[in-house]
Homo-oligomer: A and B are copies of this chain.
């Protein structure tokens, strides 16, 4: 079977709702195998129908439980859900893998919820790109909602939640400033705030801080991000959260901002994809293994300055006609 036939078959099975085909397609994309680009080209026409929800917050904010509850709530409405849990944390703690197994079991009987954990990739970056592509696969498989869950601590994570139609930021009371650390820039892009574990002391303080921050923030639309209080472990506030998501979805459609936002997201993604593709090209054509090693040695021995070197290589590229 040729690669093309193989991809066509994978797409057909995936479109029929075959979960193993879905898993295989995601692995192909996640591992950036040779077939990855062709598969994504074949799937792209089927994507664009799902609502993409990005959910982020500090470690320990109860994101997984919250996402599971939201998924179950949508299941009651007959919707199908794909969840991508991006976990940049160390295998040292063991938490991520174990947590995933427990979650998998609880959804085991329900084919309407598909969960995929993604660890972060090597230092060449591209995590946000890969996550976006995995979301495209889930979207193309016909899921009504795709929820992307990530720890809101790094630039990668900001880039990931930027891909979503709806961005939810989860905060918790009483964790102390040191732990409440989430990346600058995430607060600004929240469409909905959740105060989880809201029965804890300090919930009012967190709410006041969000309000204070909102008075300074500049949005490109006239949506005022609501604050929803939840206790995810007890299921409290979940219907309110889903209602808030649906209200924002209606707002997006009504105001025309849905399309504005998707265009902005695609703009960022195209630029990012271009950067990755160029990088691959540089490594193939402009900087061989041997040259890179020789240059690095010369710079390390201070025989050459790296700033002039990079200018020289780029200048050799020439300008387009």
Q: Interface of A with B (CB < 8 Å)?
A: 37, 40-41, 44-45, 47-48, 59-60, 88-95, 119-120, 122-123, 125, 127, 151, 153-159, 162, 176-187, 209, 213, 259, 262-271, 273-275, 277-279, 281-283, 285-287, 292-293, 295-297, 299-302, 305-311, 313-314, 316-317, 319-320
**Given A93-B177, A154-B155, A299-B266, is A274 in contact with B187 using a C-beta cutoff of 8 Å?**
no
The answer to whether B300 and A266 touch across the interface, beta carbons within 8 angstroms, is: yes
The answer to whether B287 and A89 touch across the interface, beta carbons within 8 angstroms, is: no
Most buried by B among A264, A266, A297: A266
- Listed A/B pairs (24) with beta-carbon separation below 8 Å: A47-B302, A88-B154, A89-B181, A89-B184, A92-B182, A93-B181, A94-B177, A95-B178, A95-B181, A122-B185, A155-B155, A155-B156, A262-B300, A263-B296, A263-B297, A265-B300, A266-B296, A270-B310, A277-B314, A278-B278, A278-B314, A278-B317, A285-B319, A316-B320
Report whether over half of chain A's contact residues are helix, strand or loop; otherwise say mixed: helix
Taking CB atoms, residues of chain B closer than 8 Å to A308 are 41
Taking CB atoms, residues of chain B closer than 8 Å to A45 are 302, 305
Most buried by B among A45, A90, A95, A309: A90
**Given A155-B120, A267-B296, A293-B267, is A90 in contact with B310 using a C-beta cutoff of 8 Å?**
no
Q: Shortest distance in angstroms between A161's beta carbon and chain B's nearest beta carbon?
A: 11
The answer to whether A269 and B180 touch across the interface, beta carbons within 8 angstroms, is: no
The answer to whether B282 and A151 touch across the interface, beta carbons within 8 angstroms, is: no
The answer to whether B268 and A295 touch across the interface, beta carbons within 8 angstroms, is: no
Q: Shortest distance in angstroms between A308's beta carbon and chain B's nearest beta carbon?
A: 6
Taking CB atoms, residues of chain B closer than 8 Å to A313 are 274, 277
The answer to whether A270 and B285 touch across the interface, beta carbons within 8 angstroms, is: no
**What 7 A-B pairs have minimum CB-CB distances, sorted nearest first?**
A154-B154, A267-B296, A89-B181, A60-B178, A95-B177, A44-B305, A266-B296
**Given A88-B183, A320-B286, A320-B317, is A307 in contact with B40 using a C-beta cutoff of 8 Å?**
yes
Taking CB atoms, residues of chain B closer than 8 Å to A88 are 153-155, 181, 183-184
Q: Shortest distance in angstroms between A289's beta carbon and chain B's nearest beta carbon?
A: 10
The answer to whether A275 and B278 touch across the interface, beta carbons within 8 angstroms, is: yes
Taking CB atoms, residues of chain B closer than 8 Å to A293 are 263, 267
